[in-house]
Amino acid sequence: MIEDNIFFKPFRTTGGAVPFDRITTADYEPAILQGIREHDAEVKAIAGNDMEPSFENTIVALDRAGATLNRVLGVFYPMLSANADDELMEVSNRMAPRLSEHFNSITLNEQLWHRVKHVHDHFDATKRDEEDCMLMRETYDGFIRSGANLQGADRDRYRELSKRLTELTLKFDQNALKETPRYELWLTAGDLEGLPESALDAAKQAARDKGREDDWLITLDAPSYIPFMKYSDRRDLHEKLYKMYNRQCTSGEFCNLDVLRDIANTRLEIARLMGCNCFAEYKLQHTMAEKPEAVYNMLNQLRDAYLPVERSEMERLTEFATQLEGKPVEIMPWDYSYYSNKEKDSMFDINDELLRPYFELSQVTQGVFGFAKRMYGLRFIPNHDAQVFHPEVEVFDVTDEDGKAVGMLYLDFFPRSTKQSGAWMTSFREQYIDENGNDVRPLVTLTMNFTRPTQAKPSLLTVREVETFMHEFGHALHQLLSRCKYQSLSGTNVYRDFVEVPSQFNENYVYEREFLDSFARHYQTGEPVPQELIDRLIASSQYGAAYACVRQLGFGFLDMAWHSISDPYEGDDFQFEYNATKDVKAFEPVEGCIMSPQFTHIFSGGYAAGYYGYKWAEVIECDAFDRFKQEGIFNRETARQWVDNVLSRGGTVAPMTLYKRFRGTEPHIDAMMRRDGISGINN
């Protein structure tokens, strides 16, 4: 019976854990529809309240409305990216336009808008705390950004465009998810030159899973693709796999070329309705950068600083490859991982395979948890009773030093066909204070695509995978340590160009001896990672820093180009991408290869006109870590200030204000330059 739908009432589980054992795909659609009906009724009551509009009966009431819808969407959206079958995607296709229309109906409700505007115009900030002031501002600005001031035909057009954009971004996302598993590179015994044992074991296991005992399988999942490109001696197969990867969604059933143009043009029309010249101008109003000019200033500054070093790195790498092969070598994009790994190993005698045995996944997990205990006093207790959405998922109860509940953490480590590539943090429930004064604690999930265990070995991670774990764990801490009143401002609900600060801050520890010594043990002998190996790892940390930065700048310039168009675009996508990134390209374009149709970050993942935020945040987090380097990387007093001024405050105060309270000054680029070994820059 529909009344039995698990989402209709708060979960009656310990800590409010999601009862996945009682949830079926059939539950989502009726729960979403019921949530919409309940939310509509609540909004109608707020808009039609006979009492004079006040902060409590309008602004706070809106923030607390929609409990059922929040409950179901808090589970539904994470499952779409982590555990989505065709049936769940079909539900999403049906519900996406309904949800878009529902949320538009709130911000375009004129009666409600008049109440919000009345409260805003009569709001006395001197009688309110910072969080109340921010909720007022965010609510008012949110209505403005969502078309509340539009009139007549413009309001109707905005509704149409918003619905269309939701459908397009969902289609883009699902095409990317469905396309990746279609690409496979099958190997026989003669194709394995150069591959280390770990890659061979993984490829053999992947083939066994497909019923082929005598072959090896390479896929486009990162734990398979990256080692092959890095270690295989077969340049011809590098090229083949590279072209597979970079031609995704360019043709056939899951082609995204028309979709991405429609997305860009739809966003442009929305921006124009809002009085802006381009979508970037519209989107950046709600960021630290504020304007496209500030983004381009940062991208250009980093380009000017890093590009000469990157060019020098590439010249050196070409000379190295030529000496290695005994003949002139023109490095192609599919060669970079292979030759750079060889050069790095020759310079520092270090590579992923030397370190893998010391990064066994369960030990790394304990190291990551140990970091949080040492910094913030958090404890992570395995919860074997909590239900999970996949048998491989692990759950932990998180408490503070006094045993008080902080939240729950779900860990989902390995690739599967129903999961998107990459790594991310989401929440089944965010932190807030309810109407009864109860502190509702978050339910956080980390989703990764790490190297799987095989029949012969446990999961042994690369350094980059350890960095990824620490990165996503930084997002998790931002959620878990939140101490905010309002859900819409808690945890990671911050400006897009600030949200990566806590996550990228965490990555610094991977190259700190004091952190590595706490967990890095050989999975067979239990011996700690040798100090000389740590020394070589730290010494190698600057290798390729300029190339990595310039590559990220390319993504940033591409994002800004798509969202800075001021006229509808119908041109050649390949030429457009080349023009956007040519000033920071390490290689000439390869026919048929293009990033845009698989660039889910900007076309379906919330980073439209925001990808620059990774580098923007990197400047900030490097500056923050510089203080820890001076005062002690595990200094509890410094860590307390980091929590009090950043991690616990969510979006309750403007991020630069929060940061200056921690650091005393605005961030400077110097710390990032020093970390990356870039000098001689006029800052």
Chain segment 368-395, per-residue pLDDT in tens? 999 999 999 999 999 999 999 999 999 9
- Domain residue ranges in the chain: 2-149, 183-246, 357-545+614-676
For domain 357-545+614-676, say whether CATH 1.10.1370.40 is its number: yes
d(CA 18, CA 386): 8
- Whether 472 is catalytic is yes
Residue 612 has pLDDT above 80, yes or no: yes
Chain segment 154-173, per-residue pLDDT in tens? 999 999 999 999 999 999 99
Residue 561 has pLDDT above 70, yes or no: yes
Residue 82 has pLDDT above 80, yes or no: yes
Closest CA to 23 of 32, 14, 40: 32
d(CA 70, CA 18): 13
Which of the 8 DSSP states describes residue 528? B
C-alpha Rg value of the chain to the nearest Å: 25
Overall average pLDDT of the 20-46 stretch:
97
Closest CA to 521 of 345, 351, 371, 367: 367
Residue 680 has pLDDT above 70, yes or no: no
For residue 3, what pLDDT is reported?
65
Closest CA to 306 of 598, 583, 655, 1: 583
Summary mean pLDDT of the chain: 96
Residue 437 CB contacts under 8 Å (≥ 6 apart), including other chains: none
Overall average pLDDT of the 29-52 stretch:
98
d(CA 528, CA 517): 7
Place 421 in a pLDDT band, splitting at 50, 70 and 90. Answer: confident
Place 575 in a pLDDT band, splitting at 50, 70 and 90. Answer: very high
For residue 2, what pLDDT is reported?
53
Residue 681 has pLDDT above 50, yes or no: no
Residue 49 has pLDDT above 50, yes or no: yes
To which residue do tokens 């801050």 refer?
A: 505
d(CA 629, CA 218): 41
d(CA 435, CA 432): 10
Residue 190 has pLDDT above 70, yes or no: yes
| Strand-by-strand arrangement of the 394-399 sheet | 379-382, 394-399, 405-412, 443-447, 424-429
Dihedral of alpha carbons 384, 390, 393, 398, sign: negative
Overall average pLDDT of the 452-479 stretch:
96
Overall average pLDDT of the 550-574 stretch:
97
Q: Name the active-site residue from 343, 472, 507, 577.
A: 472
Domain 2-149 and domain 357-545+614-676 have a common topology: yes
d(CA 661, CA 643): 11
Evaluate whether 39 touches 67 at the Cβ level (below 8 Å): no
Overall average pLDDT of the 652-675 stretch:
95
CATH number at 2-149: 1.10.1370.40
